[in-house]
Amino acid sequence: MEFKVRKIDLHNIDALRSFIQNLGESSLNFRYFESRPLNIIENHLVTVLASSESGEEIGYGHLDQEANVIWLGIAVAGHLRGNGIGTLLMKYLLDFADKTKVKEIRLAVDKSNDQAFKMYKRHGFDVFDDLGKSYLMVRYA
């Protein structure tokens, strides 16, 4: 199966909404939009969606700047986890960060999300702090 990653903006808000509605079990670990409106993507450095050959939205990623901190977020539809979609999104976001000279990226990952934790470690993220139910991880350029 092949996947495509594309940048999105407010014109793609319906595709983003569709992805979030179809997250399945992954919604337990990806809560970014529970406390934010979808149009927050307007403030992101970059926002991307991954889609399948059939056009189904199957993955999401962003780099979001809050104050002086760049936050990374990734979510993959539950039924497709383990197929390399998260890695594809991660590579896209890290390439973007490198090209735009981002020096530090942070993320929070639930301790129960072992698959994501391992992927983040493979891509150079290290545990910065233990937040109880999650880890704060950081990657330096």
Closest CA to 2 of 75, 52, 77, 61: 52
In a domain, 129, yes or no: no
DSSP-derived letter for residue 77 is -
C-alpha to C-alpha distances, 138 to 17, 58, 80, 103, 105, nearest whole angstrom: 28, 25, 26, 10, 6
In a domain, 112, yes or no: no
In a domain, 67, yes or no: yes
Q: What is the CATH number of the domain that holds 67?
A: 3.40.630.30
* Burial label, 25 (beta-carbon count in 10 A; 0-12, 13-18, 19+): exposed
Given a contact cutoff of 8 angstroms between Cβ atoms, the answer to whether 22 and 71 are in contact is: no
In a domain, 139, yes or no: no
pTM of the full structure: 0.93
Given a contact cutoff of 8 angstroms between Cβ atoms, the answer to whether 49 and 5 are in contact is: yes
In a domain, 141, yes or no: no
Given a contact cutoff of 8 angstroms between Cβ atoms, the answer to whether 6 and 51 are in contact is: yes
In a domain, 128, yes or no: no
Show pLDDT as tens, one digit a residue, over the chain (141 residues): 789 999 999 999 999 999 998 887 777 778 889 999 999 999 999 999 999 999 999 999 999 999 999 999 999 998 888 889 999 999 999 999 999 999 999 999 999 999 999 999 999 999 999 999 999 999 998
